Amino acid sequence: MSDASLIPIRFGGLCLNMKPYFFEKDKEKIKYVDVDINFKNEVLYRFQLRTQVEPIDTQSEGQHSTDVEGEMYLDLSLEKIIFEGFYYENGKLKGPFWLEVDPNSEYSEILSNFDPPTVDCPEYPASVGTLAISITPPTPAVESTSNNDSSQMGVTIKVIQLEPTTDMKTGNSGETTYLLTTLYQNNRITGVDTTNKDEKHFPDFSGDVGIIRNRAYVDGHLKLGGKSVSGIYLEMGI
């Protein structure tokens, strides 16, 4: 796959790389997508997504610290890449996920003019490039006899960016926390923005985070150098 692929999206140790190609007459419509799904340096799936529904089950390739089972397809408008299913950690079901990517037809030009920082994102539950999203399992907000009342369960969400600067003492890359909050059912935070003129991110994110239907979600845009590269919507079961 070309280096000018869409910004890598990770579920723990799994990495999803996608490079969309667009129709010449209607550059909003996706013609096809080259897809790689890797675990560390091992290629688990490599295919070209067109009009088919592509089944994905990384467990069939051997158990990994993170596995996903589901399917990938283009939506009916041919403008979005959708990946839905369930994710597992060390063989244990963690919950459902829904990933929706709406790439900008000019993304490859923007990527070719952008030099990404040489930092590796840690294995958070989900990450996009150097943007990491940490979702802490729910804990009771108050003592209650109704432990099944999900509205009383707080979920801690953390959004960070790894920075290209290095800690001289530890040698580790720096990180900046842009959001650290505990949310409850049907709560959301709007206007999260990791743009920083002093640091070059790969990518920046602007949008909302919240909790709906017992899932944590991130909904917004990925940006490089201030320009939108792609819309993104991610739900993960909690």
pLDDT tens readout for residues 177-220: 999 999 998 999 999 999 988 878 889 999 999 998 888 999 99
pLDDT for the residue numbered 56 = 97
In the sheet where 66-74 sits, what is the strand order? 54-57, 66-74, 81-89, 92-103, 227-237, 215-224, 204-212, 188-193
- How far apart are alpha carbons 86 and 64 in whole angstroms? 14
Q: What is the dihedral of CA 88, 217, 221, 20, to 10 degrees?
A: 40
pLDDT for the residue numbered 106 = 81
pTM here is 0.87
- How far apart are alpha carbons 205 and 226 in whole angstroms? 10
pLDDT for the residue numbered 115 = 74
Span 90-141, pLDDT tens digits: 899 989 999 999 998 887 778 777 777 666 666 678 899 889 998 886 655 4
- How far apart are alpha carbons 220 and 83 in whole angstroms? 17
